Amino acid sequence: MPYITAKDGTKIHYTDWGTGPVVVLSHGWPLSSEAWAVELMLLADKGYRAIAHDRRGHGKSDWTWDGNDMDTYASDLNDLIEALDLHDITLVGHSTGGGEVVRYAAQHGVGRVKKIFTAGAVPPIMLKSDSNPDGTPIEALDAIREGVATDRSQYFQDLAVPFFGANLEGAKVSQGSKDDFWRQGMRMSIKGAYDCIKAFSETDFTEDLKALDVPIFIAQGDADQIVPIKAAALKSIELVKHGTLKVYPGAPHGIAGDYQKELDQDILAFLAD
């Protein structure tokens, strides 16, 4: 299995398929690079070099005690991109991964990043506050922490339902998709899972979004029950210089089913533009 070693010695696992223009994909919480399996195969088949890594604490990467924060995640991504000497990159990030690629692009990726595509991404900031009334209350985030700390196996089974919108009328999410969410979640460390909640919810990406000077496609479903669209995509599009917003009617947070098919076609179109 391919790994790179980050600055602090952490081993970061990645998948690298295909040849051609480079696309780097960053996954959501509590998943791994396997969440991008369909896209990795699709992109490689369409003539792209598709790369996806496991964030530290997730999947096959090292389960570190320290460094489970957004600055370190972005630094790890920078170490991967420098180790592979990648240029003219299109970044694709889902949920927490959307925050990771935005921070990387703003703080490390100038001169390397060509385009950015986010889906259900956490920027500009997820936590509810007086200045962000549409965000997620701290009590809801504390409940996630409690679920992870006490019985994460059952919690991930329960969370898969709103993640994929399986509780919505007419939902067609498969049991397999929900089972795979649980499987990937159980392959990350409990410490990484716990710490990452603060990283994805309390990191403020406002200045990162303002600093971006490359095209960014901001995608989100209007039935997202995990990241509130009013605090995310609808605010992010107002902060970037070269943004395109697409709202997917009835689409959930998790990428699956008809939403995945439409999103993948939009990724391909964005790459070809």
Give the active site residues.
95, 224, 253
Decide: 13 and 61 in contact? Cβ < 8 Å. Answer: yes
**Considering only CA atoms, which of 52, 114, 107 is closest in space to residue 74?**
107
Map 15-83 to HEC letters.
Answer: EEECCCCEEEEECCCCCCHHHHHHHHHHHHHCCCEEEEECCCCCCCCCCCCCCCCHHHHHHHHHHHHHH
Beta strands in 102-215 (DSSP E): 113-119
Give residue for tokens 């964005």. Answer: 270
CB atoms within 10 A of CB 167: 11
